[in-house]
Amino acid sequence: MQEIASLRERVETWRGIEQRARDQAELIELAIEEEDDSFAGQAAADLAALETELERLEFELQLSGEYDHRDAILAIHAGAGGTDASDWTETLLRMYLRWAEARGYTTEILDTAEGEEAGLKSATIEVRGPLAYGYLASERGVHRLVRLSPFDAAHARHTSFAKVEVMPEVASTSEVEVNPDEIRVDVFRASGHGGQNVQKNSTAIRITHLPTGIVVTCQNERSQHRNRASAMKVLEARLLERELLAQEEERARLKGKHVDMGWGNQIRSYVLHPYKMVKDHRTEFETSNTTAVLDGDLDDLMEAYLRAGMGEEA
């Protein structure tokens, strides 16, 4: 039913574009027949808006991977940089939440772990909307921040890192099979946000997948049942992403390319001092409008990377 609804929405969008183009053509023909120049400015603006939307839709047609149309689970982990890295993780979380909001996507914070002094050690969110995974897959990797540290009394320049993981949501149980005998479930008291009920009751869940060693925690809900459901959703997504990465690495090996998603492979730098610049090292795309990017204006960065990937595949 979800797939049918998604396909119906896409068809209706294209039919709407077609009807708008016909309406514009009729208005232009009428203006020409009556030699009325008053519609010229409005017609030009309407055509420009139509062209922009058409370019976006044509680009999205290229996102035809098996999982591109799915919802996504995004996880951010603080790396080197101490308190600055934890603060950077929280900033990235805000950036992605704002990006999703601007696109009309819905989000849910599944889990957060607070930093020792400020910020977050990690955060996991679910992003629901058309092509959520297709777009967010471009964000997978290490993000580097250079700035004057607000946590340094001398206000020295610091470099901090955070790693972003992006996983497609599992659509059915047949895609990823989790044997109940191969997981260990631990229940504990939540820490941080959640109020007194969360603090007093053992509602947080930790699931360990024994064959792979993958550990997933969820503590944001007051209900142990809901935390367990969220944790299982993340575990299934991690197992699916593990398989996809293995396939990607094999394809890269056959092509003679090296793929490294580890900490040594930063995909993007955000420099706030001594100058302002966001640069994607995979595409060389850069912008000096760091404020807009950190407020969620990521479409140009994402599309530059995705278009580069399409060019390689072609």
Beta bridge partners of 78: 162
CB 269 within 8 A of CB 72: no
pLDDT (tens digit, 9 = 90+) per residue, 17-65? 888 888 888 877 777 777 766 666 677 778 888 888 888 777 777 787 8
Q: What integer pLDDT is reported at residue 313 of this predicted model?
A: 58
User: Is the pLDDT confidence value at 262 over 60?
Assistant: no
Provide the 10 A C-beta neighbour count for residue 160: 25
CB 201 within 8 A of CB 227: no
Helix 299-313 to helix 40-61 angle, to the nearest 10 degrees? 50
Mean pLDDT computed over every residue of the chain? 86
Strand, coil or helix: what is 116?
coil
Q: What integer pLDDT is reported at residue 58 of this predicted model?
A: 78
User: Is the pLDDT confidence value at 183 over 80?
Assistant: yes
Q: What integer pLDDT is reported at residue 202 of this predicted model?
A: 78
CB 144 within 8 A of CB 159: yes
Backbone angles phi, psi at 307, to 5 degrees: -65, -40
pLDDT band at 2 (very low <50, low <70, confident <90, very high): low
């540290």: which residue's tokens?
149
pLDDT (tens digit, 9 = 90+) per residue, 110-152? 999 999 899 999 999 999 998 999 999 999 999 999 999 999 8
CA-based end-to-end distance of the chain:
32
d(C-alpha 96, C-alpha 94), whole Å: 6
Judged by average pLDDT, the poorest of 109-118, 277-286, 303-312 is 303-312
- Report DSSP state, residue 291: H
């064959």: which residue's tokens?
211
**Among residues 139, 142, 144, which one has the least CA distance to residue 160?**
144
Backbone angles phi, psi at 41, to 5 degrees: -65, -45
H/E segment holding residue 30: helix 2-33
- Residue 289 tokens, joined: 């409008």
Q: What integer pLDDT is reported at residue 48 of this predicted model?
A: 81
Distances (CA, A) of 179 to 208, 210, 216, 313: 12, 10, 16, 36
d(C-alpha 150, C-alpha 272), whole Å: 12
